[in-house]
């Protein structure tokens, strides 16, 4: 029987407890330690997981409890320093999204991981969800035709962040899905937004990503909406997909609708758009927790020595897009040409 992979989690605030719960429940994992600067948070975590060592000293977490891997779930401004220390101490490292505060920091983390033969993975959790896996299968099978555009809305009231704007907080989910679906990087990034509550930190943004073949995606993010909305629409030449993540059992609905223009016409009177209205259907999707699949994938990558679906490379590309969006914001929404824009994303199988 193989020895379990020994894991520690740093950061027990908003998302860290979910990571603690999932890693603790996996069969080939021994969650040995959890770390946070807040004694109050650690007291609460100890009450839930008395068998997991809790500490405020990150140095002790790295070097004093015999870990194989570290999971970083601290605020974004600390991702780079914590992950760098983890990698330099020889630990496989999983970082929550976004990977770091700049592409330069991401590139350094990738270089350290590769130099030391370590797994570096980023928590783009939605790529491990059953709905996104099913969407990818439908698109790759050609069921919706060629993608024309994607529209995404991720809106709610709060949680307001102090170190990043709403684009850096919410849009990474949508960007990671869009890049995965389209399989390539954008040509141009535009972003507009405003800071209504905290000066200098935008709480409403609209990002536009322009791709080859006239394809584009729009991403609306807000901390100032009265309703919570998590919706993505994918419009194809044959069919359309609506993905509503807030639905319990009907997260995906496929619409057999499209509009076509006549190939030939002699006069304006002959010109008529052709509208096709077919049925809609709801694909069956197995209910599972995406974070559990993500955590298991991290352990599998360590055990088998394989590259993660959401490796440091994917984390880097996402941060580059966020940087371009920030530059566009400063330019009042002006277009920012995305570097290495013609590069195709590396195709990898989605874990089951």
The predicted structure's pLDDT at residue 286:
85
Does the pLDDT of residue 259 top 90, yes or no?
Answer: no
Q: What are phi and psi of 212, to 5 degrees?
A: -65, 165
Helix, strand, or coil (residue 48): helix
| Residue labelled with tokens 């699949």 | 293
C-alpha 312 chain-centroid distance: 12
The predicted structure's pLDDT at residue 291:
97
State mean pLDDT over 194-200. Answer: 95
The predicted structure's pLDDT at residue 40:
95
Our CA dihedral for 113, 115, 117, 121, rounded to 10 degrees, sits at: 20
The predicted structure's pLDDT at residue 2:
80
CB atoms within 10 A of CB 288: 12
**pLDDT tens readout for residues 262-282:** 666 555 555 556 666 667 889
State mean pLDDT over 113-119. Answer: 98
The predicted structure's pLDDT at residue 86:
98
State mean pLDDT over 40-50. Answer: 96
Considering the domain delimited by 5-118, tell me its CATH architecture.
Answer: 3-Layer(aba) Sandwich (3.40)
Residue 321: half-sphere exposure toward Cβ, Cα within 13 Å: 31
Fold that domain 127-290+317-337 belongs to in CATH: Dihydrodipicolinate Reductase; domain 2 (3.30.360)
Does the pLDDT of residue 4 top 70, yes or no?
Answer: yes
Q: Where are the domains of the chain?
A: 5-118, 127-290+317-337
Does the pLDDT of residue 1 top 70, yes or no?
Answer: no
**pLDDT tens readout for residues 164-191:** 999 999 999 999 999 999 999 999 999 9
The predicted structure's pLDDT at residue 347:
40
The predicted structure's pLDDT at residue 56:
97
State mean pLDDT over 240-262. Answer: 87
State mean pLDDT over 82-105. Answer: 98
The predicted structure's pLDDT at residue 158:
86
Distance in angstroms between the alpha carbons of the first and the last residue of the chain? 23
Does the pLDDT of residue 350 top 80, yes or no?
Answer: no
**pLDDT band at residue 192, thresholds of 50, 70 and 90?**
very high
On whether the CB atoms of residues 90 and 83 are closer than 8 A, the answer is no
| Residue labelled with tokens 């991401």 | 106
Average pLDDT score, the chain:
92
Does the pLDDT of residue 102 top 60, yes or no?
Answer: yes
Q: In 293-314, which positions are buried (b, 16+ CB within 10 angstroms) versus exposed (e)?
A: bbbbbbbbbbeeeeebbbbbbb
Q: What are phi and psi of 76, to 5 degrees?
A: -55, -40
Can you give the three-state secondary structure of 222-260, one letter per residue? ECEEEEEEEEEEEEECCCEEEEECCCCCCCEEEEEEEEE
State mean pLDDT over 313-340. Answer: 93
Which of 1-15, 91-105, 263-277 has the highest average model confidence (pLDDT)?
91-105
On whether the CB atoms of residues 241 and 148 are closer than 8 A, the answer is no
From CA 232, how far away is CA 97, in angstroms rounded? 19
Helix orientation angle between 290-304 and 16-24, rounded to the nearest 10 degrees: 60
Helix, strand, or coil (residue 274): strand
As a whole number of angstroms, the longest Cα–Cα distance in the chain is: 80
């Amino acid at each position: 029987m193989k020895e379990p992979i020994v894991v520690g989690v740093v950061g027990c605030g908003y998302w860290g407890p979910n990571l603690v719960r999932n890693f603790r429940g996996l069969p080939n994992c021994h969650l040995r330690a959890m770390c946070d600067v807040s004694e109050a948070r650690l007291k609460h975590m100890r009450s839930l997981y008395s068998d997991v060592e809790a500490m405020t000293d990150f140095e002790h977490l790295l070097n004093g409890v015999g870990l194989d891997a570290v999971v970083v779930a601290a605020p974004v401004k600390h991702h780079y320093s914590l992950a760098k220390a983890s990698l330099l101490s020889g630990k496989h490292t999983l970082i929550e999204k976004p990977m770091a505060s700049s592409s330069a920091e991401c590139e350094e983390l990738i270089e350290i991981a590769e130099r030391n033969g370590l797994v570096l993975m980023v928590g783009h959790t939605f790529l491990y969800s059953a709905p996104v896996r099913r969407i990818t299968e439908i698109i790759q099978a050609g069921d919706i035709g060629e993608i024309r555009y994607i529209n995404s809305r991720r809106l709610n009231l709060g949680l307001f962040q102090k170190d990043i704007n709403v684009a850096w907080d919410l849009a990474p989910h949508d960007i990671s899905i869009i890049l995965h679906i389209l399989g390539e990087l954008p040509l141009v990034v535009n972003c507009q937004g405003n800071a209504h509550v905290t000066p200098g930190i935008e709480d409403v943004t609209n990002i536009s990503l322009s791709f080859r073949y006239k394809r584009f995606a729009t991403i609306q993010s807000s901390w100032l909406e009265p309703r919570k909305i998590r919706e993505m629409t994918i419009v194809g030449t044959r069919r359309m997909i609506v993905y509503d993540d807030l639905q319990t059992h009907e997260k995906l609905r496929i619409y057999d609708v499209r509009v076509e223009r006549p190939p030939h016409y002699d006069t304006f009177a002959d010109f008529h758009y052709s509208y096709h209205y077919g049925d809609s259907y709801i694909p069956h999707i197995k209910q599972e927790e995406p974070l559990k699949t993500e955590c298991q994938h991290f352990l599998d990558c360590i055990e088998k020595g394989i590259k993660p679906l959401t490796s440091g490379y994917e984390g880097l590309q996402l941060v580059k897009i966020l940087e371009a969006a920030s530059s566009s914001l400063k330019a009042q929404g002006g277009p920012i040409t995305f570097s290495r824009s013609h590069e195709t994303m590396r195709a990898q199988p989605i874990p089951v």
